[in-house]
């Protein structure tokens, strides 16, 4: 295994581009990255593991959805810096619920395939909303509120967060349950837009919350102030 890992030209980059192909049809399903640890896990388990640049961590493909990839073959290119893996795909490869991540014709803008599964049920509404927000980045500001926020820029996005935080506080103060829920949803949405602006996955927020789980709030605050 170590010999295989050492074959990679890691001096070019710590992240190895990986093209993922369905073994039975040779259809390209997705493109991702592996670092040394992800490649080692993939070689050892024959289940695809990648390094997520947005989540900043190793992730097993299908860890949430169950749509795993069983690797049948590892193929290295002539420059030793790009990997092609042939897999048996369980379920679908794309987080949008489509079989392949390549479904938009760049010349026409048309979608050539539809979602096969309900991704909100698989990944949760926060992850689904975040990826929808990212998709809206380059949409028409005249037809998308999210695209309009991105077009107006950082100051507008941050102003909306401050406004929504204030409205949420007023709703709590008024003890209006429906308004509390409504304003909390607005605050979460606009916070996700800000995360999307900086390309920070909400998974990293979850990781930070998990890190703090067994740390008292006082100790955590003191650690940031020291």
CA distance 36 to 32: 14
CA distance 65 to 85: 20
User: What per-residue confidence (pLDDT) applies to 218?
Assistant: 52
Nearest to 201, CA basis, from 147, 122, 128: 128
Nearest to 1, CA basis, from 74, 81, 89: 74
Q: What are phi and psi of 136, to 5 degrees?
A: -85, -5
User: What per-residue confidence (pLDDT) applies to 219?
Assistant: 55
CA neighbours within 13 Å on the CB side: how many for 179? 13
Full set of structural domains in the chain with CATH = 2-118 (3.10.20.810), 125-225 (1.10.287.1080)
Least confident of 13-17, 108-112, 137-141, 213-217: 213-217
143's torsion region: left (phi>0), alpha (psi -120 to 50) or beta?
alpha
DSSP code, position 136:
G
Q: Mean pLDDT of all residues in the chain?
A: 91
């Amino acid at each position: 295994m170590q010999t295989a890992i050492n074959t990679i030209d890691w001096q070019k980059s710590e992240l190895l581009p990986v093209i993922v192909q369905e073994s039975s049809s040779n259809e390209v399903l997705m493109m991702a990255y592996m670092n040394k640890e992800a490649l080692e896990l993939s070689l050892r388990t024959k289940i695809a593991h990648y390094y997520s640049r947005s989540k900043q961590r190793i992730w097993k493909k299908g860890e949430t959805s169950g749509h795993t990839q069983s690797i049948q073959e590892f193929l290295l290119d002539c420059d030793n810096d790009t990997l092609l893996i042939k897999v048996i795909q369980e379920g679908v490869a794309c987080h949008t619920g489509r079989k392949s991540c390549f479904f938009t014709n760049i010349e026409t803008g048309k979608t050539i395939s539809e979602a096969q599964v309900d991704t909100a049920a698989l990944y949760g509404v926060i992850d689904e909303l975040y990826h929808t927000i990212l998709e809206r980045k380059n949409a028409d500001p005249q037809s998308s509120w999210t695209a309009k926020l991105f077009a107006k820029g950082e100051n507008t996005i941050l102003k909306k967060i401050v406004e929504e935080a204030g409205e949420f506080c007023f709703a709590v103060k008024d003890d209006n349950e429906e308004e509390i829920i409504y304003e909390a949803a607005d605050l979460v949405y606009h916070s996700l837009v800000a995360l999307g602006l900086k390309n920070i996955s909400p998974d990293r927020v979850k990781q930070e919350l998990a890190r703090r789980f067994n740390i008292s709030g006082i100790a955590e605050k003191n650690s940031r102030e020291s």
